[in-house]
Amino acid sequence: MHNDADVNFAQMMIVHHEGAIEMADVAVERAASEEVRTLAEGIAAAQGPEITQMTSWLEAWGQETSPAGDGGMDHGGMEMEGLTQEEAMVELESVPDAEFELRFLELMIAHHRGAVDMAETELDDGENPEALALAQTMIDDQQAEITEMEDMLESR
């Protein structure tokens, strides 16, 4: 049992998670503090299996794994502080080392807020029990990470 909201949630969240992993990978490489590197590693480690899970649902439902007409590059149409995923990646890769962690945390907080919004829409409109459960898990996990990142920012 699934509906269009479940399909849309899985398709868009796969792309969104891919963007978060892409950002986290840069942070693992560039972050000066162990705290930020550990956070980034945790984000990638959590979201990879969720991508696999959502991909398996879409395949079982006979649906494409990416949104129609999307080459997978807009990362769910999500913007972080007015930046597209591509623009955010360019900024993360080019920001001076001294500013990297601050900018990564700001952008990842915005990215996570976008994921929480998408998961809340799934809770409102979806019907698949597994998708609804994953949406709630994502809200809980990403809200906790947002709080952790906000605390990191405050301590700078």
What kind of fold does domain 4-62+84-154 have according to CATH?
Ferritin (1.20.1260)
Given this model, what pLDDT does residue 73 score? 43
What residues does each domain of the chain span? Answer: 4-62+84-154
- Decide if 48 contacts 57 (C-beta within 8 A): no
Give which of 76, 149, 143, 151 is closest to 113, Cα–Cα: 143
Predicted confidence (pLDDT) at residue 76 exceeds the cutoff of 50: no
User: What does the pLDDT look like over 8-66, one tens digit per residue?
Assistant: 999 999 999 999 999 999 999 999 999 999 999 999 999 999 999 999 999 999 999 98
- Decide if 136 contacts 126 (C-beta within 8 A): no
DSSP state of 80: B
Q: How far apart are CA 127 and CA 78, in angstroms?
A: 23
Give helix then strand counts, H and E, for the chain: 5, 0
Q: How far apart are CA 26 and CA 4, in angstroms?
A: 34
Given this model, what pLDDT does residue 74 score? 44
More confident: 43 or 82: 43
